[in-house]
Amino acid sequence: MPFSTPMKIALGLIPAAMAFATPALAAGSIHGDWITQERDAIIKISKCGTSVCGRIHKYLVTPPSGPGQKDVNNPDKKLRNRTLLGTAILTGFTPDGDIWRGKVYDPKTGKTYRSEVSLESTNKLKMKGCIAFFCQGQDWTRAK
């Protein structure tokens, strides 16, 4: 399953990037600011209620419709006017051993996929989006 461009910004996708970095909360933590594989956005991963989520924190590349890019492909018509910057694209992540499992939202298609996140090293995060048994991954780098 190839990721669409916005999925890549949200996962290195259309409108996903963030301005400054925050150090990890602890050694081996997925928390912090991550530069997407496409180097077009920074996703801030942090606690959201009882789980962990990742929000588009800053654009490193201006989205096609500018920095105010709206969530025009959202299946929920009420959410189509929301700005993507600040939107949670990773939701409901909980630990399962060394892997965190949750969902990833692709703003380009408006689709949500099952997702897995794991640390490859202190500064490298493996992000996967999955449909059934097929997964596609990206490597994100911790923002400094």
Q: What is the pLDDT of residue 20?
A: 30
Q: What is the pLDDT of residue 107?
A: 87
CATH topology of domain 5-134: Lipocalin (2.40.128)
Look up the pTM and report it.
Answer: 0.79
Per domain, the residue ranges of the chain are 5-134
User: Do the beta carbons of residue 94 and residue 60 sit within 8 Å?
Assistant: no
Q: What is the pLDDT of residue 124?
A: 97
pLDDT mean values, one per 10 residues, the chain (144 residues): 47 33 52 96 96 97 90 96 96 96 93 96 96 94 95
Eight-class DSSP state of 92: E
In sequence order, the β-bridge partners of residue 128 are: 116, 137
Q: What is the pLDDT of residue 28?
A: 74
**Which tokens in the block code for residue 10?**
């949200």
